[in-house]
Structure 1
């Protein structure tokens, strides 16, 4: 029965990739008119397919203003929440454990100074989510579009959160998925996303890892509990089979925006001192959600 199920699931994912899942990420202009909005929804949102978008940040003062000098002077002594690790692996698997970062409030100007003079064993990353832009960076509100009209029309809902990202080129976002429609705009530098479609959940296996948190000095401190996570390095055969995966790699450069659909797994690297803004919209609990739940439950049978 298990062998039959494996073969059936492989046939499903192979056919989806042959007929539906793109091998690369295309590029379109920002939809503005009602017909463009509807077309974008039908081609990408309804089909749950990622795409790069140009023109979303063309009118943002941030594109030209957000130098280190401008940001440091604008934010002055504003304290921001920084994730600190010795290796850039926050919320990731390291040494067989799921590692949380040490978090600390620091003055933004001090963050910039350290980013430009990094210590070998200390990696800083502004990765605080939960609407971090609106809560920690209100002084920059006039430099971006706080609530893009085009994307609110596309998704037919209000924003759930706006997040600010800035960090060391060594900082890596480990493979995960989000239950949000994600509009991700790079202001400075570039980010490379390795994407896996929701159907690849059938070959991306979770394991439970002991939970630890980095201390201020970089040592790992065990915490109670465990966390289900996917080791993208696939060093553990229980985590899945690389040969059945279908990654889609896309680099998003300054001035470009990525529409990252809900439930697409993504692993992210970046160049030094990259800055990005992303918008999260709640998902529509429709067919895409139902399909992912089916993939998830079938994969659990094998874990």
Structure 2
């Protein structure tokens, strides 16, 4: 008996979406007690399901302190690593190439001055992801929870990294996935996430692109190597209008937190001068990872 593999896979992903993937995210309170920690793990982490969380940052001084004047008073001449592009697309496909931003160190007060009065020819974004909060922004550490006990209890592991995000409203994070459990807290402004579950890997096609990097003038300079990246509209993945995808769109506002499970694909836009802190935890290589790997290998065979 011949099996229609595409139809079978579509049936499986549609069933997964109907059974456990929400079309709209719930909002729950930060888990505190051992019972709440266990319930959060069972309902969201174990099932690999995203959720909005209220109350995670209610007692952070950052929520009331982090205006531009305060940040400049704390960081001032501190040099921070800034990603610079002419169009807001860093680590994204532009003109058929995987394009990296121009990166340079500038004084934080100069960064804030340009965010207040953006230039037309370039877009700035603080997006360094190698534990940037604990290195370049450590002077702000007392304003937030540097190691959230509740999430460390949920994941049963230590933090891998804490990152600081701030930038121009034109900056876009193109669709990708991360091998981390992600707790993402917005301190100022808002972020809009377009999410696709791991099972959508079957219909999110990768393609290999030559690597380029912007220089200081905004010109593209070729670099060695090829990078596989998702072949989809970099600015608006929803424009693909594929009935085989299962997008979930969620806006995370000031004082709200998103639990973004590992291997969920996400595309991110933001309001101007939004600030966020995210906490990365290593993943548990259990059933959710095995399911993703199966979808990944099937998709690779079809690409």
Q: TM-score, normalised by structure 1?
A: 0.96
Deviation at 1:3, TM superposition (A): 7.8
Match of 1:189 in 2: 189
Matched-pair contact (CA < 8 Å) for 1:204–1:241:
no
Change (3 A) 1:123 1:3: farther
Match of 1:136 in 2: 136
Q: Aligned pairs, how many?
A: 299
Change (3 A) 1:103 1:3: farther
Secondary structure class of the residue paired with 2:4: helix
Match of 2:74 in 1: 74
Match of 1:289 in 2: 289
Match of 2:22 in 1: 22
Matched-pair contact (CA < 8 Å) for 1:183–1:279:
yes
Deviation at 1:117, TM superposition (A): 0.7
Q: Does 1:151 align with 2:142?
A: no
Q: Does 1:209 align with 2:209?
A: yes
Secondary structure class of the residue paired with 1:157: coil
Deviation at 1:232, TM superposition (A): 2.7
Match of 2:270 in 1: 270
Secondary structure class of the residue paired with 2:120: coil
Secondary structure class of the residue paired with 2:128: coil
Return the alpha-carbon distance in structure 1 between the equivalents of residues 8 and 241 of structure 2. Answer: 16
Q: Does 1:224 align with 2:198?
A: no
Match of 1:84 in 2: 84
Q: Within 5 A, what are the aligned runs for 1:43-62?
A: 43-62=43-62
Matched-pair contact (CA < 8 Å) for 1:124–1:168:
yes
Change (3 A) 1:15 1:110: same
Secondary structure class of the residue paired with 2:59: coil
Match of 2:5 in 1: 5
Matched-pair contact (CA < 8 Å) for 1:209–1:229:
yes
Matched-pair contact (CA < 8 Å) for 2:72–2:108:
yes
Return the alpha-carbon distance in structure 2 between the equivalents of residues 241 and 54 of structure 1. Answer: 32
Match of 2:173 in 1: 173
Q: TM-score, normalised by structure 2?
A: 0.96
Return the alpha-carbon distance in structure 1 between the equivalents of residues 302 and 243 of structure 2. Answer: 17
Return the alpha-carbon distance in structure 2 between the equivalents of residues 271 and 2 of structure 1. Answer: 51
Return the alpha-carbon distance in structure 1 between the equivalents of residues 85 and 24 of structure 2. Answer: 32
Matched-pair contact (CA < 8 Å) for 1:44–1:51:
yes
Return the alpha-carbon distance in structure 1 between the equivalents of residues 264 and 49 of structure 2. Answer: 9
Q: Does 1:41 align with 2:41?
A: yes
Change (3 A) 1:269 1:234: closer
Return the alpha-carbon distance in structure 2 between the equivalents of residues 42 and 232 of structure 1. Answer: 33
Deviation at 1:250, TM superposition (A): 0.1
Secondary structure class of the residue paired with 2:9: helix
Deviation at 1:95, TM superposition (A): 0.8
Q: CA RMSD in A?
A: 1.5
Cα distance per residue 1:47-104 (max 9 Å; x no partner): 0000000000011010000000000011121000000000000000111111000000
Return the alpha-carbon distance in structure 2 between the equivalents of residues 292 and 2 of structure 1. Answer: 25
What are structure 1's unaligned runs of at least 5 residues? none
Return the alpha-carbon distance in structure 1 between the equivalents of residues 200 and 26 of structure 2. Answer: 20
Return the alpha-carbon distance in structure 2 between the equivalents of residues 2 and 266 of structure 1. Answer: 36
